[in-house]
């Protein structure tokens, strides 16, 4: 029996004749590359930032509600989540700037793209550590 999903592979040329659509390469076909990994991480951190924002609103509402609610929201896990959120923010911010530079047409050469990826990773580590050093110095 033919696989019904085959129907999705049928397309039409502009002259009306039927054609089998080409299959785009996808994750199981491409080997991981610097460009694909940094792009996937941009999506992962974008989603992490969105979920983290909801948690942060919950945390702020708990702080405004009272000491008992705040004690529930505050904790070690919260600190780990906050670390993940700052890491995501700095990665997404630095890689976001990389994306905006690409939008101007700059930085598509493979060597430049690899170099900017490395800059993004180093800048993310430095900015995250700096944020936490300053944050903890003010907090403690």
Cα Rg of the chain (Å, integer): 23
Longest alpha-carbon distance in the chain = 72
d(CA 28, CA 48) in angstroms, rounded, equals 24
Q: Is 92 in the site for ligand HEM (CB under 6 A)?
A: yes
Among 33, 36, 57, 99, binds ligand HEM (CB under 6 A): 99
The answer to whether residue 132 forms part of the interface with ligand HEM (CB under 6 A) is no
- Of residues 46 through 75, those in contact with ligand HEM by CB under 6 A are 46-47, 49-50, 53
Q: Which sign does the torsion angle of CA 136, 49, 46, 44 carry?
A: positive
Strands (E), the chain: 10-12, 18-20
Burial of 94-123, coded b for 16+ CB within 10 Å and e otherwise, reads: bbeebeeeeeeeeeeeeeebeebbeebbeb
User: Interface with ligand HEM includes 82 (CB under 6 A)?
Assistant: no
44 contributes a contact to ligand HEM by CB under 6 A: no
Comparing CB distances to ligand HEM, the nearer of 37 and 65 is 37
107 lies in the binding site for ligand HEM (CB under 6 A): no
Nearer to ligand HEM, 53 or 130 (CB): 53
Closest to ligand HEM by CB, 69 vs 81, is: 81
User: Which parts of this chain interact with ligand HEM (CB under 6 A)?
Assistant: 42-43, 46-47, 49-50, 53, 92-93, 96-97, 99-100
């Amino acid at each position: 029996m033919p696989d019904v999903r085959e129907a999705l592979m049928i397309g039409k040329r502009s002259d009306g004749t039927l054609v089998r659509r080409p299959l785009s390469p996808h994750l199981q076909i491409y080997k991981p590359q610097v460009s694909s990994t940094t792009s996937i991480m941009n999506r992962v951190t974008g989603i992490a930032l969105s979920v983290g924002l909801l948690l942060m609103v919950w945390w702020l509402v708990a702080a405004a509600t009272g000491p008992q609610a705040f004690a529930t929201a505050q904790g070690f896990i919260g600190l780990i989540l906050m670390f993940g959120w700052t890491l995501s923010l700095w990665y997404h911010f630095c890689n976001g700037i990389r994306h905006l530079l690409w939008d101007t047409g700059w930085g598509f050469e493979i060597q430049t793209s690899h170099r900017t990826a490395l800059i993004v990773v180093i800048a993310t580590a430095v900015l995250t550590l700096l944020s936490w050093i300053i944050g903890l110095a003010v907090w403690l």
